Amino acid sequence: MGTLLHIQASPMKERSFSLHTATAFIGSYLQSHPSDTVRTVDVFDGTLAEFGVLQAAAKYKILHGKPASEEERTAWAAVEKTVAEFRAADKYVFSSAMWNFGPPYMLKKYIDIIVQPTLTFAYSPAEGYKGLVTGKPALLILARGGAYGPGSGAEGYDFQKPYLEMILRFIGFTRIDTILVEPTLMGGPPAAAEKLAAAIAVAREKARTF
């Protein structure tokens, strides 16, 4: 019995290409892994912890063993809870829109909460940086209005796929698969429907052995 964590990063809901593809993945996953549980983090549902003045102050005080105020400790506890919930999963699916060539800001916020020294990565002068989230697979399902693949001429504008893959590698992931749904806008609705159907077919197939 394992837990699959689905991190959703599109507010488009029933019109979201990434969410449609992820939903198909999860449907197929549950058919082939019937005793597993799926948990969802919707980064746009308004429940994400904060990461601002208090949390930044708390982070450095706690890291350096200095006393933090009660308010700072409470703020930091919410960060630690988010990280603990993230780390408790066995497998990960991130479904995300591309916004201004990168992930939407709420997914970046989630990343800024969970990527923390001592919690998801470690550093030592001898060993350098070491990811602490190891031995678990991740799937990225990324939707983009344009097309950024090899030969598109727009490869250099894609800060979504390379960034998300890099940050996951940074915290320890080595098995990262990516499904692209593109272009969802540039080619018009018929091309988008075709790309979505193709992505869903790939997602369903991948789910059986994920």
Ligand X SMILES: Cc1cc2nc3c(=O)[nH]c(=O)nc-3n(C[C@H](O)[C@H](O)[C@H](O)COP(=O)(O)O)c2cc1C
**Residue 43 vs 143, nearer CB to ligand X:** 143
Nearest-angstrom CA–CA distance, 53 and 69: 13
* Among 4, 7, 17, 51, contact with ligand X (rule: CB under 6 A): 17
**Residue 17 vs 76, nearer CB to ligand X:** 17
Under rule CB under 6 A, how many of the chain's residues touch ligand X? Answer: 17
- The 105-144 site mask, x for binding ligand X (CB under 6 A), equals --------------------------------------xx
The residues, any chain, with a CB within 8 Å of residue 71's CB and separated by 6 or more, are: 54
Phi–psi pair at 88, nearest 5 degrees = -70, -15
- The 18-37 site mask, x for binding ligand X (CB under 6 A), equals xx------------------
* Among 131, 145, 172, 187, contact with ligand X (rule: CB under 6 A): 145
* Among 10, 23, 28, 55, contact with ligand X (rule: CB under 6 A): 10
Residue 103 CB, nearest distance to ligand X (Å)?
10
Nearest-angstrom CA–CA distance, 192 and 96: 16
120: nearest Cα among 83, 169, 159: 83
State yes or no: residue 159 binds ligand X (CB under 6 A): no
Report which secondary-structure segment, H or E, holds 143: strand 137-143
Residue 183 CB, nearest distance to ligand X (Å)?
7
* Nearest 10 degrees: Cα torsion 78, 104, 176, 6: 60
Q: Which stretch binds ligand X (CB under 6 A): 55-63, 81-89, 92-100, 171-179?
A: 92-100
Tokens of 204: 């369903």
Q: Which amino acid is at 36?
A: D
The residues, any chain, with a CB within 8 Å of residue 73's CB and separated by 6 or more, are: 58
Residue 90 CB, nearest distance to ligand X (Å)?
25
Interface contacts to ligand X, rule CB under 6 A: 10, 12, 16-19, 97-101, 143-146, 184-185
